[in-house]
Amino acid sequence: MIAAGTKAPDFSLPDQDGNEVALSDFAGRKLVLAFYPLDFSPICTDQLSLYQEVLDQIESQGASLVGVSVDSSYCHHAFRKQLNLTMPLLADFNPKGEVSRAYGAWIAEVDHANRSLVLIEDGEVKWSHASPTPLEIPGANLIFDALSA
């Protein structure tokens, strides 16, 4: 997992609507990247639904939250619609997992990202967390602790 104090790797990925979203789009704001394995899996559904419930609180602390997985923009679009999500979902699809790898959130054995959180501010990683297993959801409390630190 990428370490605090590291320059955040630059990225530009398509969102659920095919619009390119870059790290530079969040200049002047705190950004929480929420890496997760796959759209529509039961645990991912729970994870993103949980983050949606507290999204207003995250945003009230001057932060944006963005989901990242290896699914395509089309899959993200359907997943976002089904769950009524408002946070952007970025497609780390081609080349598969490039951004997840750059942030140390990749699990090669299963060919997708681990459940990981990264807080970026002013282009620098301020905090990161990787779940011990993809079966464990990083709670929203971790995001709030990182934002208030």
Q: Which pLDDT band, with edges at 50, 70 and 90, does 119 fall under?
A: very high
Catalytic: which of 44, 63, 91, 120? 44
Report pLDDT for 28: 93
Report pLDDT for 110: 95
Is residue 2, in this structure, part of any structural domain at all?
no
Is residue 7, in this structure, part of any structural domain at all?
no
Q: Compute the mean pLDDT over every residue in the chain, rounded to the nearest whole number.
A: 97
Percent of the chain with pLDDT over 70: 100
Is residue 67, in this structure, part of any structural domain at all?
yes
Range of the domain at 109: 12-148
Give the CATH number of the domain where residue 24 resides.
3.40.30.10
Is residue 21, in this structure, part of any structural domain at all?
yes
Q: pTM score, two decimals?
A: 0.97
Q: Which of 46, 23, 43 is nearest to 33 (CA)?
A: 23
Report pLDDT for 23: 98
Is residue 115, in this structure, part of any structural domain at all?
yes
Is residue 129, in this structure, part of any structural domain at all?
yes
Q: Which pLDDT band, with edges at 50, 70 and 90, does 106 fall under?
A: very high
Is residue 5, in this structure, part of any structural domain at all?
no
Report pLDDT for 10: 98
| pLDDT tens-digit series, residues 24-83 | 999 999 999 999 999 999 999 999 999 999 999 999 999 999 999 999 999 999 999 999
| pLDDT tens-digit series, residues 3-21 | 999 999 999 999 999 999 9
The torsion of the CA quartet 133, 49, 39, 100, rounded to 10 degrees, works out to: -50
Is residue 28, in this structure, part of any structural domain at all?
yes
Report pLDDT for 91: 98
In the chain, the number of structural domains is 1
The answer to whether residue 44 is catalytic is yes
